[in-house]
Amino acid sequence: GAVLPLGTLAVGPPRQPVGPYRILEAQVGDDFWKYYDFYAGKDSAGSGGYIEYVSEDVARRDGIVEVVTEVVPEERMIEVYEDGDGRWEEEDWMAEDLAFLDWQKRKDAEEKEDAEEEDGDKKATTTKQKASDEKKTRFLYNSTIATDDRPAPKLEPFNPDNYRANEPTRSDPTETFVRISSSPTPQGPRNSVRLEGRRRFNRGLFIIDLRHMPAGCGTWPAFWLTDEANWPVNGEIDIVEGVNYQDTAKTALHTTRECRMDDVAEGSKTGSWDTAVGIPNRKTGIPDMTFRFAQNCFVYDPHQWINQGCVATDLKSEGRSLGMPLNAQGGGVYALEWDPVNGHIRTWVFTPHGRVPGNLREALRTATDADLDARVAPDTNLWGLPYGHFPIGEDTNCPSGHFRNMRLVINLAFCGSVSGNRYFMDCPEKFKKFKTCNEYVKSDPEELKEAYWKIRGVYVYEREWERQWT
């Protein structure tokens, strides 16, 4: 072998967080609360929600936070296929995603052709019918898993309590949930909850298993990462955020200058971008009707709405991945991968629970297993393409330093600068009787009974450190 001269320092590959994911926090059941502090006080001036966040003691007294255990009924069971190393399913997801991207490309081409057609009334009708028919085909395809040469599926609860790998499921399986809601007050603003994580993060895989999220007129729930004291310098990532009747998942990044998402590789995601049209000129006030995608994460970009940020939108399960449609399907699983070493932030949503990839399902099931060897490491390469892909770091248009020292926040606001400002558009029937969002919420309408979180668990993973060249 080679002989190094005396005094030569032999340097190997650097230690980096590039290994398999390992569970850092499994926030489930009664242990859920130990990962958070309850913020008590009014909403921030920028959000202006019509709420009063209350302490843990008040929240428990009013019954707006609780832990409940339920027997899993048969209709909430899912079909589970045996798939040893997950390769069959990986091939299924890739085939499905490629088929979806092809479907989307043809759909976009048809819509463009239709828009260019001068006498397009008849053609528009035909194109819409074709798009509608193809959407049905896509939905059926998305709901079907190829089963050639595979054993028949077993009917199982998605994430039962006391799960043990390779052991039969109990005859009366249970699942334990954290429930977070709000309560009316004589003064008007609702008592609500804002949980602020106790740990700070600079990377990680963040997963929330929801069975129900707050939805309906006036609601503004969110599950997000932020460093409020240094906002927007240290960034913000909105993982789940609903406004009024919105029904499609989005992921938004908010930063200071010089973070743009105009360099995303084609075919790296199944989603699209939010749009920014009609932005008033800051000098003249005249709306700019130029069509733009919201791809600048800078919160004060003059060509986007204030604090819009760069916003990825789900297309594959459009219209059913958030809010009331999500709840009607029994919820879903959201995942955000913040991986600066590998140069990206990526997001997925899976709904209903029978659509969750097997690797992800088994990772959640075994996250609290006392046998560490039985815990399954989540592998995002087995989940298909994300709907949101944000390149960060070297050789991108967004330095990774825009995101750091953030903590998780789970909150439920009402009205305010987003839900309240959209009230007259999103809730026209309510607007006829109540001229402001605050008036509507103060009336304590029946619909607000749907404004609650029902969380099976929040799971945080980080990659193990290994010596490896990038």
> For residue 470, which amino acid is it?
T
Q: What mean pLDDT value characterizes the chain?
A: 90
337 is a catalytic site residue: no
Three-class secondary structure of residue 222 per DSSP: strand
Composition of the chain by helix, strand, coil, percent to 5: 25, 30, 45
Query: Of 109-113, 216-220, 321-325, 381-385, which gets the smallest average pLDDT?
Result: 109-113
**Is 333:326 a contact under the CB 8 Å cutoff?**
no
Chain segment 341-365, per-residue pLDDT in tens: 999 999 999 999 999 999 999 999 9
Residue 226 β-bridge partners: 236, 407
**Is 318:246 a contact under the CB 8 Å cutoff?**
no
ω into 232 cis (within 30 of 0): yes
Rounded CA gap, 237 and 354, in Å? 27
Chain segment 404-459, per-residue pLDDT in tens: 999 999 999 999 999 999 999 999 999 999 999 999 999 999 999 999 999 999 99
Helix axes 87-116, 121-142, angle to 10 degrees: 170
Does residue 345 or residue 84 have the better pLDDT? 345
For residue 112, name the pLDDT band (cuts at 50, 70, 90): confident
Those residues with Cβ within 8 angstroms of residue 158's Cβ, 6 or more apart along the chain or in another chain: 76, 78, 175, 209, 353, 356, 361, 456
**Is 329:352 a contact under the CB 8 Å cutoff?**
yes
Cβ atoms < 10 Å from Cβ of 265: 8
Chain segment 172-222, per-residue pLDDT in tens: 899 999 999 999 999 999 999 999 999 999 999 999 999 999 999 999 999
Three-class secondary structure of residue 467 per DSSP: strand
> For residue 155, which amino acid is it?
L
Rounded CA gap, 386 and 378, in Å? 14
Select which of 52, 96, 236, 362 is catalytic.
236
Dihedral sign from CA coordinates of 408, 400, 20, 266 = positive
- At 265, list the tokens: 């590789």
Nearest to 102 by CA among 127, 137, 144: 137
**Is 440:244 a contact under the CB 8 Å cutoff?**
no
pLDDT at 135 exceeding the cut of 60 = no
Q: What is the DSSP letter of 393?
A: S
90 is a catalytic site residue: no
Nearest to 337 by CA among 324, 329, 346, 325: 346
**What's the angle, vertex CA 370, arms to CA 368 and CA 373, rounded to 5?**
95
Three-class secondary structure of residue 177 per DSSP: strand
**Is 163:366 a contact under the CB 8 Å cutoff?**
yes
**Is 174:393 a contact under the CB 8 Å cutoff?**
no
Select which of 241, 337, 362, 462 is catalytic.
241
**Is 222:410 a contact under the CB 8 Å cutoff?**
yes
Residue 297 β-bridge partners: none
- At 147, list the tokens: 């089963």
Chain segment 310-346, per-residue pLDDT in tens: 999 999 999 999 999 999 999 999 999 999 999 999 9
Chain segment 258-307, per-residue pLDDT in tens: 999 999 999 999 999 999 999 998 889 999 999 999 999 999 999 999 99
**Is 354:329 a contact under the CB 8 Å cutoff?**
no
**Is 215:324 a contact under the CB 8 Å cutoff?**
yes
Q: Is 48 left (phi over 0), alpha (psi -120 to 50) or beta?
A: left
Does residue 120 or residue 356 have the better pLDDT? 356
The percent of residues in the chain predicted with pLDDT above 90, rounded, is 75
Three-class secondary structure of residue 87 per DSSP: helix
Q: What is the DSSP letter of 265?
A: P
Residue 296 β-bridge partners: 260
**What's the angle, vertex CA 168, arms to CA 164 and CA 172, rounded to 5?**
95
Rounded CA gap, 310 and 253, in Å? 5
Measured in residues, the chain has a length of: 470
